[in-house]
């Protein structure tokens, strides 16, 4: 067991992910550490005590990409449980996904990300996104298009 409180936790961690649109492109980050290291995903991370979900989304996007966003609404919640070979929960997150729009800022990866890009849906297969990430992006796009 590691010293990381998120690994083999005694409770689920609340994470907030942001589905940020700029036109038809969505903002993705390439994770530099943590349980998603080496994978493309939505920007986001652990919610801090005293922080609203929207505040967490704004902070995480700013820390990971340098972009400023405007959260619009909560889209969905996703369970992310990764088990070790013995079946024990190694990581357990409850992920709350927020629809947001890009307001300003050039993308500069930082904090937990080693890359940040605006990505069209046609590139999703090449990036090997988690199926839940694709589902959440599609759900967010549908909500945005019907507003």
- Considering the entire predicted model, what is its pTM? 0.90
Task: Classify residue 17: in a domain, yes or no.
Answer: no
Q: Rounded to a whole number, what is the distance in angstroms from the first to the last CA of the chain?
A: 46
The answer to whether residue 121 is domain-embedded is: yes
Beta carbons of 98 and 73 less than 8 angstroms apart: yes
Within a domain: residue 113?
A: yes
pLDDT in tens, 54-78: 999 999 999 999 999 999 999 999 9
Does residue 91 fall inside a structural domain?
A: yes
Q: Which residue in the block uniquely carries the two structure tokens 């069209």?
A: 120
pLDDT at 1 over 70: no
Is position 10 within any domain?
no
Task: With beta carbons less than 8 A apart as the criterion, state whether 44 and 94 touch.
Answer: no
Domain of 140, in residue numbers = 22-145
- Read off the CATH number of the domain in which 76 is found: 3.90.79.10
Position with higher pLDDT, 130 vs 20: 20
Share of the chain above pLDDT 90, in %: 80
The domain tally of the chain equals 1
């Amino acid at each position: 067991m590691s010293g990381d409180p998120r690994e083999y936790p005694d409770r689920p961690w609340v994470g907030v992910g942001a589905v940020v649109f700029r036109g038809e492109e969505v903002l993705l980050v390439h994770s530099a550490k943590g349980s998603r290291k080496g994978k493309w995903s939505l920007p986001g991370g652990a919610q801090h005590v005293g922080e609203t979900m929207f505040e967490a989304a704004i902070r995480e996007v700013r820390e990971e990409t340098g972009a400023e966003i405007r959260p619009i609404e909560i889209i969905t919640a996703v369970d992310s449980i990764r088990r070790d070979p013995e079946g024990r929960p190694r990581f357990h997150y409850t992920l709350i996904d927020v629809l947001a729009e890009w307001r300003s800022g050039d993308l500069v990866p930082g904090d937990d990300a080693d890359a940040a890009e605006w990505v069209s849906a046609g590139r999703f297969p090449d990036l090997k996104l988690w199926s839940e990430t694709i589902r959440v992006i599609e759900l967010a796009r549908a909500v945005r298009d019907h507003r």
